[in-house]
Structure 1
């Protein structure tokens, strides 16, 4: 299975900057099926990425319809057409406004995993759950 990549333009704002537009590569890789990557690249492409954030795919999926997340990444619905992703690094934070339709389109493409990826997800979840239960 090939990685899934969706290129969008988003609006970004920070407390000390009113905002601007930037290109974001939203990626889903078969070797990390529970995660999504946001690669922010002001000009040239993902190879020249200014920043990369990796977080749970489920956080993005849940945040489209209701506020989700309480750590470094928070996702919530905006107006009727937007979804807001707030990133909170060690210093400062920024708000990125995405078109909800673009995020839904990306998520729909990630749901059609071939059987080998679905099996890997089940195996990984089983391993993680067993690790947690052993420590309890």
Structure 2
């Protein structure tokens, strides 16, 4: 990916999209300089996996992450921060394959949410599990 910044000129970055089954509702975009992460650090954006699912067919998101269909079979992920913004372009068919491979059954997600919620509430109320 090439990134153009008004303050820093052009830079070439490598972007990895990742999904952790331990955090089934999120995806990560990891950015590193093309020269390697030791040449200036890396940055990570974490956002809802559902943005990708919906963003391949319509514009979704607000604030710092927006996803929308692009031209020529692409899906665009727009990222914004106080320091600037960029657009990451993925081939839609590749993104759909990624989403298919990382599909989590709704029961597994709701069970994990209930378990974490129960644990958190018990901690707040001072009860033991």
TM-score, length of structure 1 as denominator length: 0.68
Gaps of 5+ in 1: 1-10, 132-136
In the TM superposition, what is the alpha-carbon distance from 1:112 to its structure 2 partner? 4.9
| 2:102 alignment counterpart | 110
Higher-RCO chain (CA-CA 8 Å, sequence separation at least 6): 1
From 7, 25, 28, the equivalent of 2:19 is 28
Query: Distance in 2 between the 1:102 and 1:65 partners?
Result: 14
After TM superposition, list the pairs within 5 Å mapping 1:1-136 onto structure 2.
Answer: 11-14=1-4, 16=6, 22-43=13-34, 44=36, 50-112=42-104, 119-121=111-113, 123=114, 127=117
Query: Distance in 2 between the 1:28 and 1:82 partners?
Result: 20
Deviations 1:28-48 (A, max 9, x none): 112211000001122336xx8
In the TM superposition, what is the alpha-carbon distance from 1:103 to its structure 2 partner? 1.0
Deviations 1:99-120 (A, max 9, x none): 112211110001155x755632
Query: Distance in 2 between the 1:18 and 1:95 partners?
Result: 16
- 3-state SS of 1:111 partner: coil
State which structure, 1 or 2, has the greater radius of gyration over its C-alpha atoms: 2
In 1, are the aligned partners of 2:18 and 2:29 still within 8 Å (CA)? yes
Query: Distance in 2 between the 1:49 and 1:98 partners?
Result: 23
Aligned residues: 114
**RMSD over equivalenced CA pairs, Å:** 3.1
